[in-house]
Amino acid sequence: MDELQAAGLSQTESKTYRALLAKKEWKPSALAKIVNENRTNMYKILDKLSDLGLASRFDKNNVLHFRATNPTRLLELARMRRAKQQEAEMILESTAQSLIGQFTRVNDQPAVRYYQGKEEIALIYKDMSLTKSEISFIHSSASVNFFSFEVLHNLRMMAVKNKVPRRAITSDGPRAPKDYKEKDPLVYLERTWLGQNEYTAPVEIGVYDSTVYIISFGTEAIGLTIESDQISEAFKQIFGLLSTKQRQTVDYSKLPMKARGKAIIS
């Protein structure tokens, strides 16, 4: 494989560009002989290289000539190509999850998928941000230490940008936002408070659509999703019960008592 194909060039285009670099300027007819192409194809190849910014046209004595542009353009093309591939992979990831869900419903079998490491676990947040229904989850403060506040915030904001409603069970503590009453509605969040030490496990559990997800932060760093209508419905009911019962406790109106943080909504 020719190295220049990483920039999206065909083998013939790569060969032509290398030949262009060998001399300051070329007539298409002369270049066609060097590359062993007919003149018609050579004009097409040179037009393509010009469109890519790898060659430039100019007239000399009323004759069309071509010259190579700076090879740094190859790096730009490679980066652009890689960005498009990454975007396509993200779209495919989302589509595949949807197809897995469809397969699961047709075959009546729960689909289980495992994720390891930060990059793979981040895919769970990307997938849930595309849901058309609400997300319910219990937050673990360990997620902040695992990702960093900035990275986790950006992952959460993907759902906010898509205006996905969220119901969260979160713990009181110094990092909790004291301005939640004003800011939560702006990020489509309905919050139920827990006391500071009522939930300390480094695990986030949530549900959206027909998917239940479990993320273990820290040394394990693993994620799990289960596609199942029955299991997801069970978790939705469990989250509803937990939220209702917690709000009925005697001291709930006093929460949060230790919140000192400020919500960031952008």
Phi, psi for residue 97 in degrees, rounded to 5: -60, -40
Please check the confidence at residue 90 and state whether its pLDDT lies above 90: no
All structural domains of the chain, each given as residue ranges with its CATH number in brackets, are 3-74 (1.10.10.10), 110-254 (3.30.870.10)
Classify residue 59 as exposed, middle or buried by CB count within 10 Å of its CB (0-12, 13-18, 19+). Answer: exposed
- Answer with the residue of higher pLDDT: 154 or 100: 154
Mean pLDDT score, 41-69? 91
At 77, list the tokens: 């093309």
Name the residue type at position 134: E
- Answer with the residue of higher pLDDT: 193 or 57: 193
pTM over 0.85: no
At 138, list the tokens: 């219990």
pLDDT tens digits, one per residue of 122-139: 999 999 999 989 999 999
C-alpha closest to that of 39 among 49, 50, 48, 28: 28
Please check the confidence at residue 237 and state whether its pLDDT lies above 70: yes
Mean pLDDT score, 212-232? 91
Classify residue 34 as exposed, middle or buried by CB count within 10 Å of its CB (0-12, 13-18, 19+). Answer: middle
Give the model's pLDDT for residue 93. Answer: 79
Confidence of residue 109 (pLDDT cuts 50, 70, 90): low
Percent above pLDDT 90 for the chain? 65
Please check the confidence at residue 247 and state whether its pLDDT lies above 90: yes
Percent above pLDDT 70 for the chain? 97
Please check the confidence at residue 104 and state whether its pLDDT lies above 70: no
At 9, list the tokens: 């060039």
Mean pLDDT score, 149-165? 95
Supply angle C-alpha 88, 92, 93, rounded to 5: 115
Rounded to 10 degrees, the C-alpha dihedral 43/29/52/56 comes to -120
- Answer with the residue of higher pLDDT: 259 or 203: 203
Confidence of residue 5 (pLDDT cuts 50, 70, 90): confident
In order, the DSSP letters of 81-135 are: HHHHHHHHHHHHHHHHHHHHHHHHHHHT--EEEEEEHHHHHHHHHHHHTT-SS-E
Q: Contact at 8 Å (CB) between 161 and 136? A: no
Residues, the chain: 266
Give the model's pLDDT for residue 231. Answer: 93
Mean pLDDT score, 87-110? 76
Q: Contact at 8 Å (CB) between 134 and 162? A: no
CA–CA distance, 19 with 138 (Å, rounded to integer)? 61
Any idea what DSSP says for residue 228? -
pLDDT tens digits, one per residue of 184-203: 999 999 999 999 999 999 99
Give the model's pLDDT for residue 213. Answer: 98
Give the model's pLDDT for residue 1. Answer: 52
Q: Which of 48-52, 63-67, 217-221, 238-242 has the highest mean pLDDT?
A: 238-242
